[in-house]
Structure 1
């Protein structure tokens, strides 16, 4: 796999450090991660700008540039920064915008920015939102209901830019519900789109199991959902099963692969929604690990129990992924740049693998005009690492775990790390990077501070920065 590997940023930073100026701008305080700093790709700069948050997941920018963050088990907070350009950002204020401990992942803003949506395991809620004042209405409206299950409880939200007033909601399901997921009307393991123009102030909420347009089903847990900015194509990254066996043989180390699936765009909704295989068929990542593997290739569908369902029937009946991602990487978000030429994916990382994998943000090249990935469906070298943990042997306990992504108005990519309660900012630098030099770390003039315990300013961890200019190692 091409990972665009870069040198570790292993420079030790003291509590007081005299450091260089990044991009000609002095930043007063440096927030230093408590773990080994991550590596950054050639041509990119990355900085840690916030710590001390509570499991930050999805993020959105409002029209004033404030960052809205779902802190799982806490609610939605509104974070503002003093922006000194580049990646030099200093925390200025943190406000608990919505105090609701049931909110755990999903977040979206209406196209006009006046309605904020967030999700619990059971429901999607909507609040009137005033970006200038930084306030929400006193009482939320329930928009979608009836989504509860006991595991895989995130409900990802996406407001379409192509089709106004359409809310896309992804719902996974616990593996204990495998049989129920085979029935479309149960609403499990699906992605559905809801026309919000059909609701008014007195309307009952949509019932997830029976309402909305089904974009796809047979999806174990499509946590990351994104819309291509040019074509409107809907893509999702899928977390596949763990602990899989095939005809009695343990093949879980390298199979099944995670998935990048395509669902078309919202201008045409399929009346016979495609099924992507769960819980019967899964994507091949490592062919040689699978017994009786004749005819299988990377990305094709294989049956867990070949005695009752053949691989041939899996591939005839179910949709193969557009690209297959490495097993156990656990993708959580996908965001496209404004040109539509690149998608960025957060990989939360494995939790039960012998040799931990994932724990990175990577990019995938797209054809901006067609909205299709450049790589062929059976490719294995289409991921380019942008920000990654090198010392994966200490993961997941002592490294960051990427979760949510968002682009700001300046084109910078922001990332949450839920396990460490942090936010990073990444910026693509101008010019062509040198591909033969070691990676270097550049920090702004100021005082270095450990990320934990966080320095408290306005009720949260003081933002600082570790500006990392990555130069690739071949």
Structure 2
């Protein structure tokens, strides 16, 4: 080998290192601890209470900022793994009423965003980062002062429909027991119909009812629809306060989106009278109750009992009480679901404030753990000192997979977007 050839080869070997880009480190507002095999870094901070977010077909992030901003358009530089940083950022939609829900059709041409009362659509161009042709598509969803989020999902298995979540109007909303109130429900809307003319929320097909505040709604690779529900606060049974450890937060299954005859379609999951057990040992007159089994609380409507509650749909899994799961996303294999737990306020000892994974059987499409399990959610990112929560903790809200397979997460109280290493779409 000549001297010139050696120099050329040496330069070629060094070139990838010389030209590789490294994103600047952004120190997190509050440090996170990661399980073995996982890591993470802050991609962007300084946001205004980021909640729901999606990736468009060009790999840009669109996030709804609850802090009075609207929707932000974020272009990324992705160098692989967690080496991701912001290339540019701008306000896409200015509307202080936008608070959580956001969804794109799979072709990325139609964007849906929600407020407490309304869902709008826009024609979207991801290349230029612009929207046009604003329409009101679903309306009249106001609750008094409770549960303001309206989560949106356009299923990949049926991109012709939009699923919209609406929570309860109060901790115990007795009227939500009636389907016609259209509260504590998931409803399905045909996109072509609502694009032609706006409709009231009551006009949608009921996918599920009796769901107190199901902020997290996701789709598995088979087209199955899943949700995570936040149980009631200050629970009492037999006059005793059992709220510290009951009820559980629920993982519910709603059937295949294209199977209108599924056993779960349109069914009642129990709220406002029925809840699932987390700690049976402290429930008065609860002998024989098991984790995940439905039971009735004090002063039920329509004469409900434990027996009538157990005839309603039960969760597939339970999570610790008041941990507030707010999203669920599946990987491509369908063997793992990722669930962010926003964290408690109604417990003496804080709990939640973490990102967890749940194992699924990809063939059966169900969790591998039994419904009585208390260990199905495995933490991959968490706050080491829960005693400092919520003020000194990250609080995860939504998760989404980027175009290169990494998992991203919003944290609303710290105004950050994270990328999580080790959690991939594959």
Match of 2:231 among 229, 234, 240: 240
Residues 410, 418 of structure 2: 8 Å contact kept = yes
The answer for the alignment partner of 2:209 in structure 1 is: 217
Counterparts of residues 192-211 of structure 1 (less than 5 Å): 192-200=187-195, 203-209=196-202, 211=203
The answer for the alignment partner of 2:78 in structure 1 is: 83
How far is 1:370 from its partner? 2.1
Residues 57, 416 of structure 1: 8 Å contact kept = yes
Larger relative contact order (Cα-Cα within 8 Å, sequence gap ≥ 6): 1
The secondary structure found in structure 2 opposite 1:312 is helix
Residues 211, 229 of structure 2: 8 Å contact kept = yes
The secondary structure found in structure 1 opposite 2:310 is helix
Match of 1:382 among 376, 379, 388: 376
The secondary structure found in structure 2 opposite 1:118 is strand
Distance 1:338 1:309, change over 3 A: same
Counterparts of residues 449-464 of structure 1 (less than 5 Å): none
The answer as to 2:273 corresponding to 1:280 is: yes
The answer for the alignment partner of 1:459 in structure 2 is: none
The answer for the alignment partner of 2:333 in structure 1 is: 339
Match of 1:255 among 246, 250, 253: 246
The answer for the alignment partner of 2:219 in structure 1 is: 227
How far is 1:75 from its partner? 0.4
Aligned residues: 401
How far is 1:173 from its partner? 1.3
The answer as to 2:350 corresponding to 1:356 is: yes
The answer for the alignment partner of 2:388 in structure 1 is: 394
The answer as to 2:82 corresponding to 1:98 is: no
Any unmatched runs of 5+ in structure 2? 1-16
Counterparts of residues 106-121 of structure 1 (less than 5 Å): 106-121=101-116
The secondary structure found in structure 1 opposite 2:255 is coil
The structure with the greater share of residues assigned to helix is: 2
How far is 1:371 from its partner? 1.4
The secondary structure found in structure 2 opposite 1:331 is coil
Residues 121, 147 of structure 1: 8 Å contact kept = yes
The answer as to 2:62 corresponding to 1:68 is: yes
Give me the CA root mean square deviation. Answer: 1.9
- Choose 370-379 or 257-266, whichever is displaced more: 370-379
Report the Cα distance in structure 2 between the residues aligned to 1:105 and 1:67, rounded to whole angstroms: 14
Report the Cα distance in structure 1 between the residues aligned to 2:60 and 2:396, rounded to whole angstroms: 20
**Segments ≥4 residues shifted beyond 3 Å:** 306-309
The answer as to 2:256 corresponding to 1:265 is: yes
Residues 25, 88 of structure 1: 8 Å contact kept = no
The answer for the alignment partner of 2:154 in structure 1 is: 159
Distance 1:269 1:227, change over 3 A: same
Match of 2:400 among 387, 403, 406: 406
